Chains A and B, each alone.
Chain A
Amino acid sequence: MSGAAAHAPRRKFLRAIGAVGAAALLGGSASARGATRLGRVVVVGGGYGGATAAKYLAMWGEGAVDVTLVESDAAFVSCPLSNLVVGGSKGMADITVPYDGLGRRGVKVVRDTAAAVDAGKRVVRLAGGAELPFDRLVLSPGVDYLYDRVGGLESADARAKMLHAWKAGPQTARLREQLVAMDDGGVFAISIPRAPYRCPPGPYERACQAAWYFKRAKPRSKVLILDGNEDVISKKALFTRAWNETYKGIVEYRPNCVLTDVDVATMTLRFETADDVKATVANVIPPQRAGAIAGQAGVITANDAWCEVDFLTFESIRVPGIHVLGDAIQIAPGMPKSGHMANQHGKVAAAAILAALAGQPPNPAPVLSNACYSFITDREVVHIDSVHQYDRAQKTLVTVPGSGGLSPAMNAQEGEYAFAWAANIWADMLT
């Protein structure tokens, strides 16, 4: 081997080292030199579904995909654990996580609201006027509230008096203030819509957390659960036991209370068939449908409320190139509308989008899990869990027979797991 020949590869090698050094300085960001562009993905909504999708698109895409997350809030505020803020054992800071971590992953976070989607031109127009072109769009818009189904809640003033607090944020803090301001001996009424709605066990957990607070601070007060359903629809035995034992004399449960009207002046709730109720603090969780941008984009296909998707990709069955995640979708049988499920949707969609952009088929056998903890006290918890596998014949996700289940009773060990779950899933979606 001649000297010149021996040195040629060395020079090439040194150039390569220079390139690697540059990539290292850029921290592996999406702008790293030489990155191959697979395409542009816009994600609308930075909750459990959207933030997870954005993070995994960036992480699994290894810088080959431009990922933009459109989110109107400055920071993520978690619905799971927000009932602990209502009960007073946790504060807003405990359930708030900044979006900075996604930026470090290479996701461009745009603080704005998606105003319109042009599926033909593949452009999202933002309320602030900017236009974001996309190859694939992910909509994770959460839910909107059907106030037209509840008379008396037309005005913003009325809605400010009877809060939903069903999107964690300012309403969560205000509902807490209302409970703190309530005199001992007052009635806190929770109105639950007919299923499906976001987080089936959430209203029952909220009743427990309010009762936990009353038991200590306002022992003559009552929690009245006014359920639009025929029975407790999640963790029934466990919640019923909590109301009959832990919170005996504080919590009362009434089924078949479908809310029709409210009178905010007299704090009265009226129902299809049940008797009127007067409350000191009324928490009205209205009926729900997929967030407004889903309707605008034309992906609401079921019952004028929810978005049907192909469960291999979470792509809309109607509009190609638009994927829908989280509470906004028409769920498969046995799949709850939960934050944990939305996190799982985000990963299946991210993998499918990366495959599609690379001209590959999606994973033919996605598997999703759900773990849902409800706090009975400030530290004792019950769970429900399930596993969902894709069934090729039925073309949907099905709950695996024999899998999943419930806690035998509330316990503090699972309380620790619940807090660890929160820390890990927030990191899984936001860092």
Chain B
Amino acid sequence: MENGARICTVLGLHRGTVLYRIWPGWRCEAAQPADCMNIPCEPMCACTVRAHFIVWKLIPAHAPRGGNGPAAAAPSPRLDTPRARMQSSATMLPFRILVALVALVLAAAAAGVRAADADPAGRSIAASCAGCHGTNGVSAGAVPSLAGVPKAELAAKLGEYKAGRREGTIMPQLAKGYTDEQIDRAAAWFAAQPAPRK
């Protein structure tokens, strides 16, 4: 097992996000999956500062997720603290602007990926809605979009359909087929999707 300090490099810090360059074939994983975002097609990842300072590890890209198995037992890498780097001097300013720009590009490119990684089960439940509501909850027509709807709002609506307290055509019938936990996870997943442009 490689020493963590050799297989990743802190690239920068931007608004609570630490950007790392990692070795190909590895990915970041935090205790809370939403805390780390692996960049598709690039050996890079971004994690929250919380993940950086608490529990954060590099594991082989194809190891099972969720902390089981030998891969998950890899030692947590020791990292240079980004705070020390960022505090160095004013000459770091252009670097910080670059970090900001790249973080924005990466965040936009990987927004869907991050949400998907956060809860694959939620993603699968939500996918059962996409036939009518559109891929990732972005609808083209009279059926409402679900992407970006706040979790509490969507979960409450579905709960009302399920309980027979809200009128509708197919939704009062379909909502009765989902468990409360499934409704909660699907609502959380849709809430994390970017809302469609009007």
Contacts and interface: CB of A to CB of B under 8 A. Distances in A.
A265 interface: no
Interface stretch (B51-59, B151-159, B166-174): B166-174
A16 B11 contact: yes
B72 to A, nearest CB: 12
B42 A360 contact: no
Interface string A18-45: 0110011000100011111010000000
Given A20-B42, A383-B169, A420-B143, A371 B131 contact: yes
B75 interface: no
A327 interface: no
B102 A6 contact: no
B131 A24 contact: no
Given A1-B84, A367-B182, A427-B140, A12 B21 contact: yes
B73 interface: no
Interface stretch (A152-160, A223-231, A315-323, A384-392): A384-392
A419 B141 contact: yes
Interface residues of B, number: 60
B64 A360 contact: yes
B176 A367 contact: no
Contact of B131 (A13, A59, A421): A421
Contacts, number: 175
Contact of A367 (B84, B128, B132): B128
A59 B193 CA distance: 15
A344 B11 contact: no
A351 B139 contact: no
Contacts of B141: 416, 419-420, 423-424
A413 interface: yes
A137 B106 CA distance: 33
Nearest to B144: A420
Interface string A395-412: 000001011110100000
Interface in B50-109: 61-65, 84-85, 88, 91-92, 95, 98-99, 102, 105-106, 109
Contacts of B182: 367
Interface in A193-212: none
A73 interface: no
B109 A9 contact: no
Given A351-B124, A369-B174, A28 B143 contact: no
Contact of A403 (B123, B169, B174): B174
B102 A17 contact: yes
Interface residues of A, number: 67
B125 A367 contact: yes
A56 B127 contact: yes
B132 A421 contact: yes
Interface string A226-251: 00000000000000000000000000
Contacts of A367: 124-125, 128, 177-178, 182
Interface in A351-405: 351, 358-360, 363, 365-369, 371, 383, 385-389, 400, 402-405
Contacts of A348: 124
Contacts of A402: 176
Contacts of A335: none
A71 interface: no
B40 A1 contact: no
A365 B40 CA distance: 27
Contacts of A24: 105, 109
B10 interface: yes
B178 A424 contact: no
A20 B103 CA distance: 11
Nearest to B113: A62
A425 B65 CA distance: 30
B102 A20 contact: yes
Contact of B176 (A9, A14, A387): A387
B64 A13 contact: no
Contacts of A336: none
B113 A34 contact: no
Contacts of B99: 13
B135 A9 contact: no
B163 to A, nearest CB: 12
A47 to B, nearest CB: 14
A216 interface: no
B190 to A, nearest CB: 14
Interface string B10-54: 111000000001001100000000000001111110000000000
B131 A33 contact: no
A23 B21 CA distance: 15
Contacts of A425: 131-132
Contacts of A368: 128
B116 interface: yes
A136 interface: no
A347 interface: yes
Contact of A416 (B11, B105, B142, B176): B142
A365 B121 contact: yes
A359 B64 contact: yes
Pairs of residues from A and B, 7 with the lowest C-beta to C-beta distance, nearest first: A387-B177, A420-B141, A403-B177, A32-B41, A400-B177, A420-B142, A405-B173
Given A12-B9, A420-B143, 8 more contacts: A34-B41, A38-B62, A344-B128, A367-B178, A369-B174, A387-B174, A404-B176, A423-B140
6 contacts: A9-B11, A28-B40, A347-B124, A351-B120, A365-B121, A428-B135
